[in-house]
Chains A and B, each alone.
Chain A
Amino acid sequence: MNFQFSEEQLMLRDSVARFIQDNYSFDVRKAIAKSEEGISRDNWNTFAELGWLSIPFAEEHGGFGGSAVDVMVVMEQLGKGLVLEPYLATVLLFGGLLARGASAELQSGYIPKIIDGSCLGAFAYLERQSRYELADVLTTATAVAGGYRLDGEKVVVLNGANADYVIVSARTSGKQNDEHGISLFLLPTNAPGVERLSYRMMDGQRVANLVLKAVEVPATNLVGEPDRGFALMQGVILEANIALAAEALGIMEQLNAKTLEYTRTRKQFGVAIGSFQALQHRMVETFMDYEQTKSLLYRAVCALSDEKEDATTAVHALRALLGKTGKRVFSEAIQLHGGMGLTDELDIGHFAKRLMMINTTFGNGDYHQAQFNSLRYNNTTGATR
């Protein structure tokens, strides 16, 4: 049992941290958020040059062959910098689906382009009615000569506004909420029949709704087996949940550190407000929230490679806890900053908004707790372990 990072992981961490330190000040970040695309292509090219876009991919595709721990290390630092560039959407979701389930042709066609930074990707899995249920899919894929015809609408597609390619979940058989019968298709976002409605989210993310009208997709663009896309997306999202929680942990660390620093310098009644026990105890609570969340993050990432642990249970536990601790950490950060915490000028509110959006991505805390409950308490009586 060990909780140490390898030399390589420490170097990776330091490399991302240094980039953020030198190139991603809060003012720079604000300017990027305000720009036309809401991301910086220059930064993305730098990520490619530094090898970060290659981390989870196999060496045969030019990847680094990294583990979920390597991804966690990167995401935690990206969280600390509130980085807007679409690492999750392009590398972990779009790239993750390709790496895990696509044909050799699709893999060799797209993964090298993700790695060299020339292809931005997205994964369109949400629909108006679906909330957090991955299996709730109404978009249809009808078999036609040589391929499929897609009709329907996907919503809140992360990086949808800037993506060159998107993988879409669509129903090839079964009913609305059936896990079986969902298939995944890769298509260019400028394919005929795709209408893209781009919009901004409160955390600076540029997302899109995609309206699909008789979009023709060749059979070779099927990602994974027909009808069996659900397990594929579930596996990718399981790992993406860990990555996202790592980003959240980085944000929580920043919020706690900035709040602590503020209470050391802000004076009221002639003393630093950090000397008040009422405030100290609140900061101790958020310190413990951070440590407990970190423990479940480590537990989840270790569970992926530990056969005595169930990774799905661990991930639901992690996201359920994060739902509570994340909210407490940003709420206390705003409260302890007083009126300043309400200003758009300060970064506190921006960290808070990203944390709030993370807590709605792939399910909020309640959703994950319900999933946890159903794995742990339904149809099992008496088991103590």
Chain B
Amino acid sequence: MDTSFSPEDLAFRDEVRAFLSESYDASLQARLASGDPAVYKQAVIDWQKRLYAKGWIAPNWPVEYGGTGWDATRQFIYDSERAAFGVRDVVPFGLKMVGPVLYTFGTQAQKDRFLPPILASDEWWCQGYSEPGSGSDLASLKTRAVLEGDEYVVTGAKIWTTYAQYADWIFCLVRTSSEGKKQEGISFLLIDMKSPGIKVNPIVSIDNHHSLNEVEFNEVRVPVVNRIGEENKGWTYAKALLAHERTSIAGVADTKRSLGLVREYAAQEINGGKSLLADPLFQSRLSDIEIELMALEFTELRVLASVASGGAPGAESSLLKIKGTELQQAVQSVAMDVAAYYQGVLPNDLNAEQLGHAFGSKARQAFMYGRAATIYGGSNEVQKNIIAKAVLGL
């Protein structure tokens, strides 16, 4: 039992720091902060292309498919440094979700066709899981795919589809059979977003942003070669993907960074003539979170280490999801309290200088959109059901 870094690990950390400070430059940061969706999208692509050129775009992939081959320690170092530098993680839908499904279950032709543009960020993906009538009970999904010759004809609707407005492709769970158990009639399809019959309807969320969508499918024709694995076995592939998704949405390194920022804000706020950070009650609210986060960081490392030594992320990923999202929300909640009445300020009316305050609007956006975290990827209550069944054996 030992967590100290070797000289090689320390050299790697220096390399990560040097790369980030050179490549994540001010002009890129400005474009990423842009309110213009087209500018934002191009900035994300530019950043991911720099990571791709460095060979670091897919740390969690096997080396043969373009991964880094990093052990748990290096994955941890990279993620910690990335977050501490204020760099957002890559858009997950291609690189963290469908990518692993493709290299694990896809045909050679599918791997050849889809993996390179995912790595190069030349194609954007979105996720077609939830439906208007199927949320936590995902397996009840009704979007149906009927086989006609060498094509499926897909009709139905997906919802809460993040970045569908940007996406070139969507990976979808569709119903190919209504026989037997509901999990056994589901197939996993890759669908071109330019296909005739697809309509994307924006959903504005309570942070006043548009990242969510409803995607309608009206007799959309999908070649059979775009099915992953066997017909009616899609649930198996979907579950493997969900375990990866849950591990990555714990977001420990990013929450550490957010907590650090909240602490900086609190140090600047004056409360009764003193820094808010000096208030013992406030300190304990911070440390309640920081201590749980210190624990979760090690819980994540323990899971990473076991995955690195051959295990697949299993039900422990549900623990990471629950605790990780609870802590994200806890930080967002403290940030709102630090912002006081400035949490209510809407963007774009006054700038920070006119307002006399810089982060209220950001805190609110994070808090409002952050409510999604305990709902998506399988709600936290569903995660508890999974732990009860898979870990406790109930």
Binding site for B on A (CB under 8 A): 1-5, 69, 260, 263-264, 274-275, 277, 280-281, 283-284, 287-288, 291-293, 295-296, 298-299, 301-303, 305-309, 314, 317, 320-321, 369-370, 372-373, 376-378, 381-385
Contacts and interface: CB of A to CB of B under 8 A. Distances in A.
B279 to A, nearest CB: 10
Contact of B323 (A260, A292, A299, A369): A292
B109 interface: no
Nearest to A299: B298
Given A260-B392, A384-B264, A308 B299 contact: no
Given A287-B392, A292-B295, A385-B260, A3 B301 contact: yes
24 contacts: A1-B76, A2-B2, A69-B1, A260-B393, A260-B394, A263-B394, A275-B394, A283-B394, A284-B387, A287-B319, A288-B322, A291-B316, A292-B292, A298-B302, A299-B3, A302-B4, A320-B287, A320-B291, A369-B288, A373-B286, A376-B287, A376-B290, A381-B264, A384-B261
Given A288-B319, A291-B299, A3 B287 contact: no
Nearest to B290: A376
A307 B280 CA distance: 29
B2 A321 contact: no
Contacts of A284: 384, 387-388, 392
A309 B261 contact: no
Given A4-B1, A369-B284, A317 B291 contact: yes
B372 interface: no
Given A295-B302, A314-B294, 7 more contacts: A1-B2, A260-B394, A283-B388, A283-B392, A308-B4, A373-B287, A381-B275
Give the dominant DSSP class at B's interface: helix
Contact of B295 (A274, A295, A302, A307): A295
B305 interface: yes
A118 to B, nearest CB: 32
Contacts of B286: 373, 376-377
A260 B394 CA distance: 9
B5 interface: yes
Interface residues of B, number: 50
A377 to B, nearest CB: 5
A287 B388 CA distance: 9
A384 B260 contact: yes
A2 B1 contact: yes
Contacts of B391: 287
Contacts of B3: 1, 299, 302-303, 306, 309
A364 to B, nearest CB: 14
A301 B4 CA distance: 12
A379 to B, nearest CB: 9
A309 B72 CA distance: 18
Contacts of A302: 1-4
B29 interface: no
B75 to A, nearest CB: 10
A163 to B, nearest CB: 32
Nearest to B262: A384
B299 A292 contact: yes
A263 to B, nearest CB: 8
Nearest to B319: A288
B392 A384 contact: no
B291 A298 contact: no
B385 interface: yes
A291 B290 CA distance: 16
B267 interface: yes
B287 A299 contact: no
Given A305-B4, A381-B275, A1 B305 contact: yes
A285 to B, nearest CB: 8
Contacts of A4: 1
A266 B287 CA distance: 39
Contacts of A288: 319, 322-323, 387
A385 B17 CA distance: 15
Contacts of A291: 299, 316, 319
B277 interface: yes
A381 to B, nearest CB: 4
Contact of A373 (B2, B76, B283): B283
